[in-house]
Chain A
Amino acid sequence: MPPSAVKSLDRQALQTLPKPQRLHPLPIRIMHWVNAVAVFIMIGSGWKIYDDDVILGWLHIPEFLTIGKWAQHGLQWHFFGMWIFGLNGLAYLAYGIATGRFRRKLFPISLRELLTTIGDALRFKLTHDDLTHYNAVQKILYLGVIIAGILILTSGLALWKPVQFSALAALFGDFQTLRIVHFLCMAAIVGFLLVHVTLALLVPKSVIAMVTGGPSIGQTVSGRGTVEAASR
């Protein structure tokens, strides 16, 4: 058979196979980077707003780390960013639940694996050969940051509209408690980002994977199908 015939046959065979799935499907990659921009805006502008009436007397965010010249600009950015963060976040949650991605990727979390991973991490023995599998610490961090994201959005809505959304606000207690919850969620997300960005930069292929989609995973029957799809 001439080489071209082999190629076309292969292509036919590929088409009948189930579509190979990338580690990070396109919707995930889009939502990840949209979220990156939104979180950048929300944190920088939030710090600007925070500085007008600090919660912790010793903590003033340096001007150069904040977004917006004056408080009103910080507020403008914040109430612009909230739409991106909120809508993108809702789309992400819906996608994660509907496709079963959360269930597949984040569960189950075993205590034993968690302890082993922490031990490995402390001895600098963590490997990143397999991007497709999350270790227990990663699962907990990702789950935690998703929960912090939900909490910061709901506490933010209640802070924005404590009267119109009074039932939601009442769940958090007092108005100042609400502010503290919102602030602590920010601190948790910033803490996550420090670890997340540092580790991503240490393992550059993980950043590339979040752009290109990364390796193909499971779901294809033949090895060749996977390879071909991966090298597309």
Chain B
Amino acid sequence: MGIHRAGRSLFRPQKPVNRDVLTAHRRLLEDIDRRGALRGALSLGALTLLTGCDVTEEEPVQNALRTVSAWNDRVQAALFRPDHLAQTFRPDQVVKPPRFNAHYDPAEVQPVDGASWTLELSGLVADKRPWTARQIYEFPEQEIIIRHVCVEGWDYIGHWSGPNLRRFLEHVGADVTAKYVYFHCNDDYTESIDMATALHPQTILATRYANDPITDPFGYPLRLRTSTKLGYKNAKWIRGIEVTNTFTETFWSGQGFNWFAGI
């Protein structure tokens, strides 16, 4: 092996090094060496653990992950079966009251005044006249008992009723060939779903839970319930519905959660 052969080199001192110095300070040298090796091993080990806090926050890594997430949106849209119904359940399996979830505590919920509340329609909708709660409650109802799946992993069976979203969109003359339906909420939450999901038979604008009007923490007077999306896609306290072809980030997708979020 040529590398280790000590040939004559320009960079080699002509006289050999005085090795007495090394022997005299042997203990110190060994100590330094040991400490160096230990430090090296530790930092190498730490590097593998650092992935959690450092590497993932790097801009290029974040961009790459978001690109994959956008690709996953397309895969999920392709996997989506427009006529495939989710499993439904018996009334005795229903959890009462439903499980609360928002990005804040139930105590911080700002109740909506049903008497003055209106539902505004915007975007690619022919009839943009706002709806009152009474009008919404008079619209033909659909009942579904479906599973709510949270992105965190928990789930529960809920019993929801209210206007079927497809029938509602057709009723107000929405362009159902548009790409997205956006929901603007009273707590400044926004969510949007793809049109295929909006037109799914198990997608409703829920006004009742277990036959009674939805209570304040769960989205009174109007919320979305669809059997084919994760919980966070089901906007609560809806005050506006917008039909559009323009994508804008929603409350959670803007923070890195997957937009399509189909189940």
Q: Which residues from chain A sit less than 8 Å from chain B, CB to CB? A: 44, 48-50, 52-53, 55, 63-73, 75-77, 79-80, 83, 160-164, 166, 175-176, 179
Contact = CB atoms under 8 A, between A and B. Distances in A.
A65 B49 contact: yes
A73 B56 contact: yes
Contacts of B154: 53
25 contacts: A52-B153, A64-B52, A65-B49, A67-B51, A67-B52, A69-B52, A69-B53, A70-B256, A73-B65, A73-B256, A76-B65, A77-B65, A79-B258, A83-B68, A161-B76, A163-B228, A163-B262, A163-B263, A164-B79, A164-B84, A166-B84, A166-B87, A175-B147, A175-B149, A175-B155
Q: Dominant SS at the B interface?
A: loop
Contacts of A52: 151-153
Q: Which 9 A-B pairs have CB atoms at the shortest separation, nearest pair first?
A: A72-B256, A53-B152, A53-B153, A76-B65, A52-B152, A80-B68, A163-B86, A72-B257, A163-B263
B26 interface: no
Interface of B: 49, 51-53, 56-57, 64-66, 68-69, 72, 76, 79-81, 84, 86-87, 147, 149-155, 227-228, 252, 255-258, 262-263
B210 to A, nearest CB: 20
B150 to A, nearest CB: 7
A71 B52 contact: no
Nearest to A54: B153
A76 B227 contact: no
A64 to B, nearest CB: 5
Contacts of A75: 151, 257-258
A64 B56 contact: no
A47 to B, nearest CB: 9
B152 A66 contact: no
A79 B56 contact: no
Given A53-B153, A65-B52, A161 B257 contact: no
B263 A162 contact: yes
A8 to B, nearest CB: 26
Contact of A163 (B49, B69, B84): B84
